[in-house]
C-alpha cells in the first residue's frame, strides 16, 4: 500500500517541515519510501512500500497518483506509459477537467494541485479501495489518505464527533463520508472533490447501475467470466512477487487456483488457523492446496499473538475500527512478507459482486411474506401467531418471522444488531446520548439504500454491501493488515471489467432460490474442488471471546482498556461490568462487544482524546 497527502490555500510558515510530518504518518510500515513537494500555499507528498510515488509537474500544476490504475483512453494510456499516471492525469485534467476521471479504473487514489489557478482535484477508485480524507478550513483544503497524517497539519481540527462514535458502536466501523473527527470527511467510492478558489464540489464520477435482464446464455457468460478472471489475475500479479491469502473459501481458492494457472507455476499461498473449536478452517485450505498444487505456508495464531497485535492495530488505525479479523489477516500477510512476497492477492468482493453472503438468502425468504394476501395475513396468520402462547411448537418462530418480514429494508438487516439488542440507553451515559441522534445509523443506511440503482432485492443488497461491507469494512481490514506487514495488496475480483460483468448478470443467477452465488460456482464447478463448492462461508474469524475466558494476558489487556474507557463520559460503567460478568457464559456473543469497546478505548488513548 501507499499513501498521499497535501494541501492548497493555507499559508504555512514551515511548509517543508509540515509536509514531512504529514508524510511520516501516512504508513505504519517503517520502511515506506517518501516523496515531497512543498510551497507555503500548497503541497503534495506520498509514500510507497517499494518506490516513492512520482509527483508530476507541468507548469504550476502538480499531481500524484497511487495504486495501480488502468487508463481506458488510448492517448492518455500511451502518455502514462511514457510519463507516468500522474503526468497523464495533468494532461487529461487540462483538457477535460474532472471528466478525465471517467478514463481511470481499478485501484487508485489521486490528488492534483494547481497553484496558478488555485484548483485541486481529489478522487478515489470505484470501490474506494484506497482511502482519501479531506478537511476544508477557511479558504484552504487539507487532504491525506490517513487521518493521522491529515491531523498533523496545523490548520486541522481534530475534535471528536460523538455521532461518529455512536456509528462505530452500531456498525463496528465509522461509515463514510463521515470520519471520527468533526469537519473531516472521506471520499465515497467513485467520488471526487473539485476545489476552486475556496469553493468545492463533491460528485460521483461513477455509480453502479444494475441491469435487470434475463435470457442470457450460461455457456457464453461462463466463457466471458473465466476470460475476465484470468485477465484480472494477470494484471493483479504483474510486476511483483505475488502471494495469496487462502482461507479455503470459494474466493480465496479461486484466486489461488487462477494465479497458479496464469503464472504457470505453483502460487504461493498462506493460511491462518486457530486451536479453537468451530473456528479453524485449515482443512479446507489444505484441500485447495492439494487440488491446485500451491506452495503453501500456514501458521496457527495464538492468544499471545493477539495480545501482541492489538496495540499495533489500534495505533495504526486512523479511526476506531472493530473488525477482529484484521489480526489473522496481519499474521497471514506477515508470513508472506517474510517469505519474500511483495504483493498479496485478496478474494474480497466475490460475495458482494456475485451474491455469496448468507443474509441474501435469508432476506429472500422474508420477501415471500409480502406476496401473501393482506386479508389472509391480518385475519388468519397474524392473530394465530400473536395470540397463541410461544410455548406451542413453531409459534415463537412464526412470530419472529412475521415481525422481521414486516420490517422494511434495509432496517430488517439490522434485526440482530448488538447495539439494538443491548439498547442504547443501557450502553451509553445519559449525557452522551443527549448529544447524538440514535436514529442516525438507520438514516445513514436508508439514504444509501434509496440511491442504489437496482430493481431486484438481491442487487439492492449487493449495492448496499458495496459500501458498508467492502469500502467501509473489509477493504479497510485487509489494507490495514497488509500495511502493518509491509506488503502491497490487490483485489482481482474487484477488477473494473469483472465489476461491469457482475452488474449485467441475471440477478436470478446470483441468488437462485436459496442457492448463493449460483453462477459463480457453476461457472467454476470444473475448476474448484467439490468440497469448496459446497462448504459454508467462514473466513478468518478470530476466537477472541473463547480465548478471553482462559488467557490471562488477554484478560489483563481487556480489563485495563475497559477501565480506561470508564473514565470517559461515554459508556455506562455498569454496562461494562455486567457485560464482563457474562462473557464466560456466552463468549461469542459478549466477546464481540468487548472487542468493539476495547479497540475504541485503545484508539482514544493512541489519539490522546477524551470524550
Q: Is the pLDDT of residue 141 over 60?
A: yes
- For helices 303-316 and 326-338, give the axis angle rounded to 10 degrees: 90
Residue 337: the pLDDT is 98
Are both 530 and 585 inside the same structural domain?
no
Q: Where are the alpha helices (DSSP H) in 138-249?
A: 147-150, 162-171, 218-237
- How does pLDDT run across 430-449, given as a tens digit for each residue? 999 999 999 999 999 999 99
The reply to whether 299 falls in a domain is: yes
The reply to whether 435 falls in a domain is: no
- How does pLDDT run across 211-226, given as a tens digit for each residue? 988 788 999 999 999 9
CA distance 74 to 580: 60
Range with the poorest average pLDDT among 155-169, 480-494, 528-542, 550-564: 528-542
The reply to whether 439 falls in a domain is: no
Are both 503 and 551 inside the same structural domain?
no
Q: How many CB atoms lie within 10 A of CB 110?
A: 26
Residue 405: the pLDDT is 86
Are both 188 and 61 inside the same structural domain?
yes
Domain boundary among 534, 562, 584: 534
Banded model confidence at residue 18, pLDDT cuts 50, 70, 90: very high
Are both 44 and 149 inside the same structural domain?
yes
Domain boundary among 181, 204, 227: 204
Q: Is the pLDDT of residue 249 over 70?
A: yes
CATH number (domain holding residue 280): 3.40.50.620
Mean pLDDT, residues 357-367 taken together? 91
Are both 62 and 168 inside the same structural domain?
yes
Domain boundary among 485, 500, 534: 534
Mean pLDDT, residues 51-71 taken together? 93
CA distance 325 to 301: 12
Q: Is the pLDDT of residue 318 over 90?
A: yes
Q: What is the dihedral of CA 552, 558, 563, 568, to 10 degrees?
A: 170
Are both 15 and 100 inside the same structural domain?
yes
The reply to whether 379 falls in a domain is: no
Residue 325: the pLDDT is 96
Query: Which of helix, strand or coil describes residue 255?
Result: helix
The reply to whether 428 falls in a domain is: no
Banded model confidence at residue 183, pLDDT cuts 50, 70, 90: very high
The reply to whether 43 falls in a domain is: yes
Q: Three-state SS string across 89-144, please?
A: HHHHHHHHHHHHHHHEEEEEEEEEEECCCCEEEEEECCCCCCCCEEEEECCEEEEE
Banded model confidence at residue 425, pLDDT cuts 50, 70, 90: very high
The answer to whether the CB of 260 falls within 8 A of the CB of 266 is yes
Are both 27 and 150 inside the same structural domain?
yes
pTM of structure: 0.95
The answer to whether the CB of 422 falls within 8 A of the CB of 408 is no
The reply to whether 310 falls in a domain is: yes
Are both 195 and 316 inside the same structural domain?
no
Counting the structural domains of the chain, the total is 3
Are both 171 and 275 inside the same structural domain?
no
Are both 529 and 477 inside the same structural domain?
yes
CATH number (domain holding residue 93): 3.60.20.10
- How does pLDDT run across 500-538, given as a tens digit for each residue? 999 999 999 999 999 999 999 999 999 999 999 998 766
CA distance 402 to 369: 8
Q: Is the pLDDT of residue 539 over 60?
A: no
Mean pLDDT, residues 471-476 taken together? 98
The reply to whether 123 falls in a domain is: yes
Q: Is the pLDDT of residue 362 over 60?
A: yes
Are both 173 and 89 inside the same structural domain?
yes
Are both 529 and 548 inside the same structural domain?
no
Range with the poorest average pLDDT among 20-24, 48-52, 256-260: 48-52
Residue 385: the pLDDT is 78
Mean pLDDT, residues 239-244 taken together? 96
Structural domain of 237: 218-355+460-534
454: Cβ contacts below 8 Å, ≥ 6 apart: 210, 212, 460, 462, 463
Amino acid at each position: 500500500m501507499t499513501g498521499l497527502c497535501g494541501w492548497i490555500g493555507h499559508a504555512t510558515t514551515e511548509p517543508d517541515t509540515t509536509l514531512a510530518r504529514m508524510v511520516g504518518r501516512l504508513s505504519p510500515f517503517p520502511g515506506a519510501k517518501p516523496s515531497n513537494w512543498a510551497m507555503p500555499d500548497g503541497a503534495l507528498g506520498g509514500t510507497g512500500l517499494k518506490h516513492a510515488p512520482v509527483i508530476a509537474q507541468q507548469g504550476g500544476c502538480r499531481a500524484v497518483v497511487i495504486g495501480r490504475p488502468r487508463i481506458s483512453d488510448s492517448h492518455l494510456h500511451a502518455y502514462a506509459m511514457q510519463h507516468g499516471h500522474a503526468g497523464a492525469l495533468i494532461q487529461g485534467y487540462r483538457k477535460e477537467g474532472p471528466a478525465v476521471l471517467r478514463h481511470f479504473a481499478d485501484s487508485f487514489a489521486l490528488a492534483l494541485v494547481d497553484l496558478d489557478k488555485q484548483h485541486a482535484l481529489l478522487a478515489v477508485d470505484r470501490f474506494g479501495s484506497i482511502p482519501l480524507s479531506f478537511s476544508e478550513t477557511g479558504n484552504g483544503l487539507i487532504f491525506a489518505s490517513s487521518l493521522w497524517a491529515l491531523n498533523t497539519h496545523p490548520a486541522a481540527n481534530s475534535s471528536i464527533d460523538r455521532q461518529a462514535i455512536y456509528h462505530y458502536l452500531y456498525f463496528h466501523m465509522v461509515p463514510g463520508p463521515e470520519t471520527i473527527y468533526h469537519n473531516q470527511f472521506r471520499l465515497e467510492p467513485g467520488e471526487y472533490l473539485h476545489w476552486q478558489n475556496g469553493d468545492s464540489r463533491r460528485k460521483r464520477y461513477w455509480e453502479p447501475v444494475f441491469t435487470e435482464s434475463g435470457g442470457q446464455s450460461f455457456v457464453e457468460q461462463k466463457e466471458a467470466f473465466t476470460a475476465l478472471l484470468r485477465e484480472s489475475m494477470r494484471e493483479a500479479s504483474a510486476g511483483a512477487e505475488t502471494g495469496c491469502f487462502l482461507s479455503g473459501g470459494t474466493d480465496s481458492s479461486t484466486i489461488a487456483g487462477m494465479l497458479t494457472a496464469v503464472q504457470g507455476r505453483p502460487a504461493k499461498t498462506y493460511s491462518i488457523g486457530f486451536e479453537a473449536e468451530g473456528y479453524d478452517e485449515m482443512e479446507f485450505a489444505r484441500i485447495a492446496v492439494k487440488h491446485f498444487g500451491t506452495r503453501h505456508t500456514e501458521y496457527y495464531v495464538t492468544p499471545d499473538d493477539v495480545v501482541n497485535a492489538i496495540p499495533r492495530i489500534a495505533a495504526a488505525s486512523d479511526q476506531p475500527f472493530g473488525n477482529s479479523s484484521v489480526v489473522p489477516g496481519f499474521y497471514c500477510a506477515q508470513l508472506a512478507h517474510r517469505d519474500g512476497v511483495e504483493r498479496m492477492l485478496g478474494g474480497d468482493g466475490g460475495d458482494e459482486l456475485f451474491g455469496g453472503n448468507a443474509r441474501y438468502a435469508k432476506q429472500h425468504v422474508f420477501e415471500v411474506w409480502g406476496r401473501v394476501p393482506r386479508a389472509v395475513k391480518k385475519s388468519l396468520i397474524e392473530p394465530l401467531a400473536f395470540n397463541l402462547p410461544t410455548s406451542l411448537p413453531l409459534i415463537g418462530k412464526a412470530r419472529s418471522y412475521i415481525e422481521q418480514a414486516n420490517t422494511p429494508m434495509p432496517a430488517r438487516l439490522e434485526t440482530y444488531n448488538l447495539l439494538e439488542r443491548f439498547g442504547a440507553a443501557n450502553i451509553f451515559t445519559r449525557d452522551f446520548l443527549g448529544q447524538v441522534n440514535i436514529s442516525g445509523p438507520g438514516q445513514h443506511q436508508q439514504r444509501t439504500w434509496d440511491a442504489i440503482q437496482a430493481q431486484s432485492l438481491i442487487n439492492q443488497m449487493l449495492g448496499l454491501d458495496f459500501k458498508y461491507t467492502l469500502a467501509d469494512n473489509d477493504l479497510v481490514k485487509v489494507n490495514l493488515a497488509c500495511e502493518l506487514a509491509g506488503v502491497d495488496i490487490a483485489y482481482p475480483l474487484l477488477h473494473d471489467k469483472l465489476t461491469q460483468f457482475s452488474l449485467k448478470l441475471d440477478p436470478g443467477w446470483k441468488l437462485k432460490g436459496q442457492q448463493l452465488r449460483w453462477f459463480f460456482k457453476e461457472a467454476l464447478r470444473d475448476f474448484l474442488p467439490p468440497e469448496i463448492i459446497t462448504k459454508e462461508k467462514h473466513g478468518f474469524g478470530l476466537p477472541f471471546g473463547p480465548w478471553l475466558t482462559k488467557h490471562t494476558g488477554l484478560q489483563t489487556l481487556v480489563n485495563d482498556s475497559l477501565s480506561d474507557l470508564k473514565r470517559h463520559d461515554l459508556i455506562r460503567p455498569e454496562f461494562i461490568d455486567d457485560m464482563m460478568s457474562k462473557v464466560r457464559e456466552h463468549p461469542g456473543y459478549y466477546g464481540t462487544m468487548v472487542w468493539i469497546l476495547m479497540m475504541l478505548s485503545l484508539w482514544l488513548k493512541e489519539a490522546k482524546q477524551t470524550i
